[in-house]
Amino acid sequence: MNVLFVSQCRKRALTETRRILDQFAERCGERTWQTPITQAGLEAVHKLLRQSARKNTAVACRWIHGQGHSELLWVVGDARQFNAEGAVPTNATARDILRADDENGWHSAEAIRRMAQLAALLHDLGKASQAFQQRLKGERNERNLIRHEWVSLRLFLAFVGEDGDRQWLERLSDETAANEACWTDPARYLCDKPGSGPGSATPPPFASLLQQAPLAAAIGWLLVTHHRLPAAPPTSSTTNRRWGDKRGCLEKNWLTDPLTAIACEWNEVISSPQTPPKDFDPYWRMAGLLPVADPAWRKQAARVARHLLKLQQPFDWLGNIWALHLARLCLMLADHHYSSLGMDGEGRPVAARRLFVQSQQKLFANTVFDRTGRRQPCQSLLEHLLGVSDSAAQISHALPGFERHLPRLARHRGLRQRSSEEKFRWQDKAFDAALRAMMTDEMLAETRARLAERGGQPSQTVVNMLQAQLLGIEELPAEYMASVEFSGLITEDGNGPSPFREAWNMTKPKTGPGGWLVAGIQPLS
């Protein structure tokens, strides 16, 4: 291999560096050396430079290959004298002149933020029902017939009505408009009462909404799923059915149009098909005035709606699964965070809540244990909706910086060790299954042996550059065998990049569903 040494040493370190490098390479400048060298020779140079390094030492080694291409192999001493590619700067400053961290390439960041904000303002409207408020007071303990997420969805769809996205957003953006009546208008507010008689159950909400108002469908999806994903109801007629039980069959239309079939039974299993209609009434009847009538809620909702009106035309609300997934993440995280905020030692709301606390509220979102161990109302429903919306906006705004600011776990020793507790052994089995899907049994046994020899010590390998070349394919009686040469640069355990060259033997059965498996790895000189 052909290498280039560049020295940025000063004072006595420069003299010592010249003494070492002059023994291995030809000097082609005052501070540069170039020579062809073996891997063993390069390792010897690296070792000698590290042994003699001092605070003024700074030597970079570059691998020259191809037509004018070069790669940084390692730096000994002060790495600040070179950039990430090993180039020598002509000037330096501590100021962030480029301000590259202030920008990001998240084209859907604004849509994620506004969807999460609006969904947060709507997500718990169903908690205004008589059944939920009675449950908070300890007056109702039976299993839910209708969950509050589904009630929130129906309230929101009552507001949307038959309008398209632009129409209902324009109505929501006018904070002075009197829209309160349409949220619970009997002609618009459809109340599901499944199993209580023929024709009593309302049609699935997403069937017509997908074409009518895609943004409303996306918001509705966030409302229904902010606690758990829908699950097809089981076919069993037993009275002890639980949500999430296996249905026993799969309908093809669920795969082609997955949203069109979702009904309230997908959000909560009805314990008995003979449930009287009157038992559902407390779940649909409101216990007081909805937060949508409050000026604080209307002001915040109008502001978010105006932002969404600017994004509504060019954005694919349902087609961008990435944006929907992250909006749901922001909503769920914000909901859990704000729900955890309670009282301080003096019985007052903690500082993070005081901006959103609303006085003289009769509807509540959750409870808290007081000093005597009794449950007491904690956050009002209006406060909860406003607080979760603000938290969702902050979380979504911070998404581009998560990778830069959150700690890394890749080299955490505890995550690499085999589980010592029985209840976590499934993780080891999952790891083994993943390896088994890539390797033959013989290669898997060898890999396990190597892992055992390492004794749980962490190891990290980064592939800096990779090239692959098919050497040949051989046909055996029961399988095919292919040999592939991999070469390039790797960095192991934080050391400088070093070249590697290996031959991977891979096998594939002639018949059956099996794919290519690694059968052996052989280093090449």
The predicted-structure confidence for 276-294, as pLDDT tens digits, reads as follows: 888 899 999 999 999 999 9
Q: Are residues 139 and 285 located together in one domain of the fold? A: yes
On whether residue 358 sits in a domain, the answer given is no
- Cα three-residue angle 341-343-348, rounded to 5 degrees: 130
Please tell me which residue, 212 or 97, carries the higher pLDDT value.
212
On whether residue 436 sits in a domain, the answer given is yes
Q: Are residues 39 and 132 located together in one domain of the fold? A: no
CA-to-CA distance for 332 and 6, rounded, in angstroms?
Answer: 53
Q: Are residues 73 and 213 located together in one domain of the fold? A: no
Q: Is 7 helix (H, G, I), strand (E, B) or coil?
A: strand
Has residue 454 got a pLDDT over 80?
A: no
Q: Are residues 396 and 448 located together in one domain of the fold? A: no
Burial letters 75-92, b for 16+ CB under 10 A, else e: bbbbeebbeeebeeeeee
Q: Are residues 388 and 437 located together in one domain of the fold? A: no
On whether residue 352 sits in a domain, the answer given is no
The predicted-structure confidence for 352-409, as pLDDT tens digits, reads as follows: 999 999 888 999 999 988 777 788 889 999 999 999 999 999 999 999 887 777 666 5
Pairing between β-strand 32-36 and β-strand 2-7 as defined by DSSP bridges: antiparallel
On whether residue 20 sits in a domain, the answer given is yes
pTM beyond 0.95:
no
Q: Are residues 53 and 185 located together in one domain of the fold? A: no
- CATH code for the domain of 48: 3.30.70.240
In the predicted model, what is the mean pLDDT of residues 47-66?
90
Look up tokens 């070069």; give the residue. 70
Q: Residue 54: CA atoms inside 13 Å, Cβ hemisphere, count? A: 11
Q: Are residues 120 and 69 located together in one domain of the fold? A: no
Q: What is the mean pLDDT of the chain?
A: 86
Nearest CA-CA partner of 492 in 459, 467, 451: 459
Of 91, 121, 151, the last residue of a domain is 91
Q: Are residues 114 and 86 located together in one domain of the fold? A: no
Structural domain count, the chain? 3
pLDDT at residue 199, rounded to an integer: 46
On whether residue 225 sits in a domain, the answer given is yes
The predicted-structure confidence for 214-271, as pLDDT tens digits, reads as follows: 999 999 999 999 999 998 887 765 556 677 677 767 777 777 778 888 988 888 887 6
The predicted-structure confidence for 338-353, as pLDDT tens digits, reads as follows: 999 988 878 889 999 9
- Alpha helices (H) along 53-197: 109-122, 130-136, 148-160, 165-173, 180-183
Q: What are phi and psi of 438, to 5 degrees?
A: -115, -15
On whether residue 420 sits in a domain, the answer given is no
Has residue 517 got a pLDDT over 70?
A: yes
Q: Are residues 77 and 130 located together in one domain of the fold? A: no
On whether residue 195 sits in a domain, the answer given is yes
On whether residue 129 sits in a domain, the answer given is yes
pLDDT at residue 408, rounded to an integer: 60
Q: Are residues 172 and 257 located together in one domain of the fold? A: yes
Nearest CA-CA partner of 57 in 81, 24, 34: 81
Q: Note down the domain range covering 86.
A: 2-91
pLDDT at residue 148, rounded to an integer: 95
Nearest CA-CA partner of 501 in 468, 472, 473: 468
Q: Are residues 150 and 249 located together in one domain of the fold? A: yes
The predicted-structure confidence for 149-164, as pLDDT tens digits, reads as follows: 999 999 999 999 999 9
Q: Are residues 436 and 501 located together in one domain of the fold? A: yes
